[in-house]
Amino acid sequence: MAVNLASEGVYAASVRRPPSAMPELKFFNFYPKSDKPLPEQLEKIGKDVAGKDYRCSLMLLPGEYQLFSVDALNVPQDELKTAMRWRLKDMLDYHIDDATIDVLDVPGDKNAGGRGHSLYAVAARNQLIAERQSLFFDAQLPLAIIDIPDMAQRNISALLETEGRGLALLSFDEYGGLLTVSYGGELYLSRRLDVRLPQLLSEDVDKKIAAFERITLELQRSLDHFDRLYNFIATARLVLAPLGAVAAELQAYLASNLYLPVEILKLESVLDLSKTPALLDAGMQRAAFMTIGAALRQEETVL
Task: Give the pLDDT band (50/70/90) at residue 303.
Answer: very low
- pLDDT for the residue 52: 85
Considering the domain architecture, whether residues 225 and 269 belong to the same structural domain is answered as yes
Residue 301 included in any domain: no
- pLDDT tops 90 at residue 300: no
Domain that holds residue 70: 66-125
Instruction: Report how many domains make up the chain.
Output: 2
Considering the domain architecture, whether residues 52 and 72 belong to the same structural domain is answered as no
Considering the domain architecture, whether residues 53 and 95 belong to the same structural domain is answered as no
Residue 303 included in any domain: no
- pLDDT for the residue 115: 75
Tell the burial category of 184 from Cβ atoms under 10 Å away from its Cβ (0-12, 13-18, 19+).
Answer: middle
Give the C-alpha separation, 4 to 22, whole Å.
Answer: 23
Considering the domain architecture, whether residues 199 and 280 belong to the same structural domain is answered as yes
Among residues 125, 153, 173, the one where a domain terminates is 125
- pLDDT for the residue 119: 95
pLDDT digits (tens, 9 = 90+) for 201-240: 999 999 999 999 999 999 999 999 999 999 999 999 999 9
Considering the domain architecture, whether residues 156 and 170 belong to the same structural domain is answered as yes
Task: Give the pLDDT band (50/70/90) at residue 301.
Answer: very low
- pLDDT for the residue 299: 61
Considering the domain architecture, whether residues 260 and 198 belong to the same structural domain is answered as yes
Among residues 125, 156, 176, the one where a domain terminates is 125
pLDDT digits (tens, 9 = 90+) for 130-184: 999 999 999 999 999 999 999 999 999 999 999 999 999 999 999 999 999 999 9
Considering the domain architecture, whether residues 21 and 147 belong to the same structural domain is answered as yes
Considering the domain architecture, whether residues 41 and 149 belong to the same structural domain is answered as yes
Considering the domain architecture, whether residues 165 and 198 belong to the same structural domain is answered as yes
pLDDT digits (tens, 9 = 90+) for 29-87: 999 988 888 888 899 999 999 888 899 999 999 999 999 999 988 888 889 999 999 99
pLDDT digits (tens, 9 = 90+) for 271-286: 999 999 999 999 999 9
- pLDDT tops 60 at residue 4: yes
CATH label of the domain that carries residue 24: 3.30.420.40
Residue 222 included in any domain: yes
Q: H-helix or E-strand containing 64?
A: none
Residue 302 included in any domain: no
Considering the domain architecture, whether residues 158 and 236 belong to the same structural domain is answered as yes
Considering the domain architecture, whether residues 119 and 142 belong to the same structural domain is answered as no
Residue 164 included in any domain: yes
Among residues 125, 148, 164, the one where a domain terminates is 125
- pLDDT tops 80 at residue 16: yes
Residue 121 included in any domain: yes
Mean of the pLDDT values across residues 7-22? 93
Considering the domain architecture, whether residues 159 and 210 belong to the same structural domain is answered as yes
H helical segments located in 5-95: 38-49, 80-88
SS3 string of 175-235?
CEEEEEEEECCEEEEEEEECCCHHHHCCCCHHHHHHHHHHHHHHHHHHHHHHHHHCCCCCE
- How far is C-alpha 233 from the chain's CA centre? 21
